[in-house]
Amino acid sequence: MTPQDDPPIGTRPTGYACIQSYVKTLDNSPGVYRMLDADSRVLYVGKARNLRARVSNYTRPGHSGRIEKMIAATASMMFLTTRTETEALLLEQNLIKQLKPKYNVLLRDDKSFPNILVAKDHAFPQIKKHRGAKKEKGAYFGPFASAGAVNRTLNQLQKAFLLRSCSDSMFDSRTRPCLLYQIKRCSGPCVGLISEGDYRESVKDAERFLSGRSTKVQEELAEQMMAASEAMEFERAAGLRDRIRALTQVQTSQGINPRGVTEADVIGLYMDSGQACVQVFFIRANQNWGNKDFYPRVGAEVSPAEVMEAFLGQFYDNKEPPRQLILSDGIENADLMEQALAEKAGRKVEILVPQRGEKQELVAGALRNARESLARRMSESATQAKLLRGVAEAFELDAPPSRIEVYDNSHIQGTNAVGGMIVAGPEGFMKNAYRKFNIRGDDLTPGDDFGMMKEVLTRRFTRLQKEDPDRDKGLWPDLLLIDGGAGQVSAVHEIMAQHGVEDIPMIGVAKGVDRDHGKEEFHRIGQRPFALKRNDPVLYFVQRLRDEAHRFAIGTHRAKRAKAIGTTPLDEIPGVGAARKRALLAHFGSAKAVSRANLADLKAVEGISAGLAQKVYDFFHDKG
């Protein structure tokens, strides 16, 4: 992979002339090209089987309005040649995700998906939800479309197979069965209520069910139920009946369970008015493991084939593709995409655009969901746009805000203090832009809300000035909402003035008389406070924003407090990690008992070496 040099720097032309000046420097190699504007911002990233031929296309008129605008703004180009076109495709999608060019189709929501893991590092395997890299030893089943889909399936699997969901440390510390055993969600392996052999048979049944062999599992359970009933073991027969019902419930909740599709992602694309929705159904082991919708940034005059190809490249950049991709719309380079995905997966990946049969019915279902989801989103966006126009009118802004940042603090008498920032825009709450701030000020008086807000805003704007000094990345707010009255607003104004940021409107939202919803007062620098009518939609909107900021700050504070409650002096001892901490607490019962233990007792703890035992002893006995 090699970069191509730019032409000599001088008074460089723009538009068609600029692109033409690069053509003569290119050869017929495959590669990736970037088009940049006069400020060196990347406008577009593309791939080419033949760089010279592909770039030459841009020098001839007859393009769509979108491409014409892109060409007109192009002031320079960059090139990377690759060994193969497949390599160029993979590089193109990586650069698009990294650079987010204005004229590319961009997938904005790209989180990992959860799986079910049957852990295999214990005599009695645990079944649990797993997200992220597959580093733990065990059998993985997924992906599932959402955490909710996993939790529902796990809930029914616990009823059907009675597998444990507790952690290894909890398992090892039990002396009597937990509540899950009492409500028939676990077979009680922690206290020996099931043999290791019988438990492993249940694990095998669960894995068979998750692998698609559900009918066989249910048939065997039905045979066991009949045998128990004939032997007059009615309690056991009732238990088996409940397990069969649980498995049936899993299948019923899945809705679609195709017979002829074992492993595939069904992808439906619907476009309307320059917006797009991509609906993905995850089919694994002939079962529907949920669906999720995505809304790539597309703009006008983009073809379905271009959107679909961009989606596939970016979506599977960090995910393992299934054996089949069943699409509603074909793509131009299907053979190339198959080859790229096969290299990533280490096996064959097939791309299909079915015209009839069961696969076409699956696509029709995905398309229907995509159409309905996009209609809901467009309706919500229209409502949101109206509210933002109302905000601009109510607070005398120059234009409707595209990014509103709302701040709130949470603490208990100054302890475990955190600041929370939530963000809202034309598409509603932008949860991937939320930020939490652990208040670090050692000189703050406990409960000093002004001081906390000052620290939060100082850190926020210091970072903004580093990350987006030219304010061209969309990271700067158009409006700040602060939970507080005149004092808070004055303090925030002072902070912003110190950072040279005095052009961002700021509103303080105070509870008003009796601290009652509907009586809020709004404060601005140099102006008298005012209120909105109780039935004003803008008032409800601002209340929702403030309540969301409060919810986020409270949740962050509670998480920090819970973590602090779980800490012990053992956390401060070098060499004592989570496993050794558990061993010490399990042996002695509490950190206080560890601190009182003599050296010989510390050495007797499994996993604690003589050297570490000495460190622990010295830590508690050499403190002055």
pLDDT exceeds 90 at position 79: yes
Two tokens at 354?
């079915």
Is CATH 1.10.3720.10 the right assignment for the domain spanning 569-621?
no
Q: What's the pLDDT at 9?
A: 45
pTM summary value: 0.70
Confidence of residue 324 (pLDDT cuts 50, 70, 90): very high
Rg of the chain, C-alpha, whole Å: 30
Distance CA 188, CA 119 (A): 17
Residue range 145-149: average pLDDT?
82
pLDDT tens digit sequence for 450-467: 777 888 888 888 888 888
Pick the closest to residue 553 from 410, 404, 424, 414 (CA basis).
Answer: 410
Residue range 110-117: average pLDDT?
83
pLDDT tens digit sequence for 385-413: 999 999 999 999 999 999 999 998 876 55
Q: What's the pLDDT at 386?
A: 93
The kind and range of the H/E element at 117 are strand 115-119
Confidence of residue 248 (pLDDT cuts 50, 70, 90): low
Could you please report the per-residue DSSP string of 428-472? EE-GGG-EEEE---TTPPTT-HHHHHHHHHHHHHHHHHHH-TTS-
Is CATH 3.30.420.340 the right assignment for the domain spanning 404-563?
yes
> How far, rounded to the nearest angstrom, does the alpha carbon of residue 67 sit from its chain's CA centroid?
32
Query: What's 8's DSSP letter?
Result: P
CB-count exposure of residue 600 (10 Å: 0-12, 13-18, 19+): exposed
Sequence-separated contacts (24+) of 341-350 with Cβ below 8 Å: 341/312, 341/316, 343/86, 344/90, 344/316, 344/320, 345/320, 345/321, 347/323, 348/323, 349/321, 349/322, 349/323, 349/324, 349/325, 350/323, 350/324, 350/325
Beta strands per DSSP E along 15-83: 31-36, 42-48, 76-81
pLDDT exceeds 70 at position 204: yes
**Of residues 314 and 289, more confidently modeled:** 314
Question: Do strands 275-284 and 138-141 pair parallel, antiparallel, or not at all (unpaired)?
Answer: unpaired
Average pLDDT of the chain, as a whole number:
84
CATH class, domain 2-99, is alpha beta
Collect all residues with Cβ–Cβ distance below 8 Å to 156 and sequence separation of at least 6.
246, 247, 249, 250, 253
Q: What's the pLDDT at 341?
A: 93
pLDDT exceeds 60 at position 253: no
Q: What's the pLDDT at 217?
A: 67
Q: What's the pLDDT at 277?
A: 94
Query: What's 297's DSSP letter?
Result: B
Highest mean pLDDT among 77-86, 234-243, 586-595: 77-86
Hey, do 2-99 and 404-563 end up sharing a CATH topology, with the first three levels equal? no
Q: What's the pLDDT at 10?
A: 47
pLDDT exceeds 60 at position 555: yes
Confidence of residue 624 (pLDDT cuts 50, 70, 90): very low
Collect all residues with Cβ–Cβ distance below 8 Å to 35 and sequence separation of at least 6.
19, 42, 43, 44, 46, 70, 71, 74, 77, 103
What percent of the chain lies above the pLDDT cut of 70? Answer: 89
Distance CA 571, CA 580 (A): 10
Q: In this structure, are residues 456 and 437 in contact, taking their beta carbons and an 8 Å threshold?
A: yes
pLDDT exceeds 70 at position 347: yes
Peptide bond into 143 cis (omega under 30): yes
Query: What's 571's DSSP letter?
Result: G
pLDDT exceeds 80 at position 564: no
Classify residue 324 as left (phi > 0), alpha (psi -120 to 50) or beta.
Answer: beta
Confidence of residue 199 (pLDDT cuts 50, 70, 90): very high
Collect all residues with Cβ–Cβ distance below 8 Å to 97 and sequence separation of at least 6.
106, 107, 110, 314, 317
Is CATH 3.40.50.720 the right assignment for the domain spanning 263-375?
no
Residue identified by tokens 């507790």 is: 166
Q: For residue 272, what are the β-bridge partners?
A: 275
Q: What order do you get walking across the sheet with 138-141 strand by strand?
A: 127-130, 115-119, 138-141
Confidence of residue 73 (pLDDT cuts 50, 70, 90): very high
**Of residues 543 and 211, more confidently modeled:** 543
Two tokens at 488?
């808070």
Residue identified by tokens 């929702």 is: 544
The structural domains of the chain, with segments of one domain joined by +, span 2-99, 115-254, 263-375, 404-563, 569-621
Q: How many CB atoms lie within 10 A of CB 49?
A: 16
Residue identified by tokens 């992602």 is: 265
Highest mean pLDDT among 257-266, 316-325, 435-444, 511-520: 316-325
